[in-house]
């Protein structure tokens, strides 16, 4: 029998812990496929954050470190500086990277650390039950903004890619989405580029993936994907914000 499709070797057999309709699973698949395609097997160290993807260390079939909330870029720096020929990636959520760990990501980017960072932006703290995130949209209801996020009280959402792209250090900064098959393919391309940059010693790559949280958004999976497409992309436009190979 001909095999038409199989799970990436870079994923373990551990069942994913994510909720139905959550797009972490899609991103895990894209990331694992990419690692396999670039030949990272047996040559890669991943970092799991604090948040919904805290258990990522169970899912990727490679050496993994779980690290304190927000500190993945610092941890990745420590690993990469001591192992410059190994591939190092950090996987972070919005609270992790854009709130508690904003200093770490900015400085890792400014130093041009030769690492690849995958940033899952679902505009909410999922693991803790749906509190406001640094990327929560204005008007969006969360358990700590029960009347919706209001500028005068809660401030504005942070556009991390745009901020990071102002720095001279990073090589590649891109925001993608996995809301439909076309965008999934684009996301895969961006992730792959992030890793190819690392292999070619081009420096820091950040790929932000707009993602869903049906559970805490109180939507079904289809509504969630539409919310990403129709609402999130208005505040977080997709695109490439910096690409050292394109000369910008």
Partner 1 sequence: MKQLMKGNEAIAEAAVRGGCRAFFGYPITPQNEIPEYMSFRMSEVGGVFLQAESEIAAINMVYGAAGSGARAMTSSSSPGISLKQEGISYICGADLPCVIVNMVRGGPGLGGILPAQSDYFQAVKGGGHGDYHMLVYGPSTVQEAVNIMYDAFDKADKYRLPVMLLGDGMLGQIMEAVELPEMKDVNSFPKKKWATDGSGIGADRRVINSLFIDPDSLEKQNHSLFSKYELLKRNETQYEEYMTEDAEYILVAYGTVARVCRSAVDILRERGIKAGLFRPVTLFPYPTNRLYQIADKEELKYFLSVELSMGQMVEDLKLAVNGKKKVKFFGKVGGNVMSPEEIVDNLVSKIEEN
Q: Which residues bind partner 1 (CB under 8 A)?
A: 41-45, 47, 54, 57-58, 61-68, 71, 74-79, 81-83, 86-87, 103-104, 106-107
What are the structure tokens assigned to 37, written together? 């395609």
Select 61 or 183, whichever has its Cβ closest to partner 1.
Answer: 61
Strands 87-93 and 239-243: unpaired
Instruction: Report the nearest approach of partner 1 to the CB of residue 34 (Å).
Output: 16
Select 74 or 238, whichever has its Cβ closest to partner 1.
Answer: 74
Residue in this structure with the two tokens 């977080």, named with its chain if needed:
236
Select 101 or 130, whichever has its Cβ closest to partner 1.
Answer: 101
Q: Rg for the chain (alpha carbons), in Å?
A: 17
Instruction: Report the nearest approach of partner 1 to the CB of residue 15 (Å).
Output: 15
Helix ranges (H only) for 83-232 are: 94-95, 102-111, 151-154, 160-165, 181-199, 214-217, 221-227
Instruction: Report the nearest approach of partner 1 to the CB of residue 117 (Å).
Output: 14
Instruction: Report the nearest approach of partner 1 to the CB of residue 151 (Å).
Output: 29
Select 66 or 145, whichever has its Cβ closest to partner 1.
Answer: 66
The one-character DSSP state at 13 is S
Cα–Cα dist 172/206, whole Å: 6
């Amino acid at each position: 029998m001909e095999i038409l499709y199989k799970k990436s070797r870079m994923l373990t057999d551990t069942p994913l812990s994510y909720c139905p309709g959550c797009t972490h699973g899609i991103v895990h698949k894209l990331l694992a496929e990419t690692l396999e395609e670039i030949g990272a097997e047996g040559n890669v160290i991943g970092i799991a954050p604090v948040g919904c993807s805290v258990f990522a260390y169970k899912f990727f079939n490679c050496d993994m470190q779980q690290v304190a909330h927000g500190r993945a870029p610092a941890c990745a720096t420590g690993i990469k500086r001591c192992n410059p020929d190994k591939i190092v990636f950090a996987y972070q959520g919005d609270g992790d990277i854009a709130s508690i760990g904003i200093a770490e990501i900015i400085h890792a980017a400014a130093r041009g650390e030769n690492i690849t960072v995958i940033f899952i932006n679902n505009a909410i703290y999922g693991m803790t039950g749906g509190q406001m995130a640094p990327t929560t949209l204005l008007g969006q209801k969360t358990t700590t903004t029960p009347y919706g996020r209001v500028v005068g009280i809660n401030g504005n959402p942070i556009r991390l890619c745009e901020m990071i792209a102002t720095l001279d250090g990073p090589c590649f900064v891109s925001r993608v989405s996995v809301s439909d098959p076309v965008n999934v393919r684009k996301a895969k391309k961006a992730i792959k580029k992030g890793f190819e940059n690392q292999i070619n010693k081009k420096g820091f790559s950040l790929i932000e993936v707009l993602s869903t949280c049906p559970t805490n958004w109180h939507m079904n999976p289809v509504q969630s994907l539409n919310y990403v497409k129709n609402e999130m992309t208005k505040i977080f436009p997709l695109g490439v914000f910096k690409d050292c190979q394109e000369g910008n």
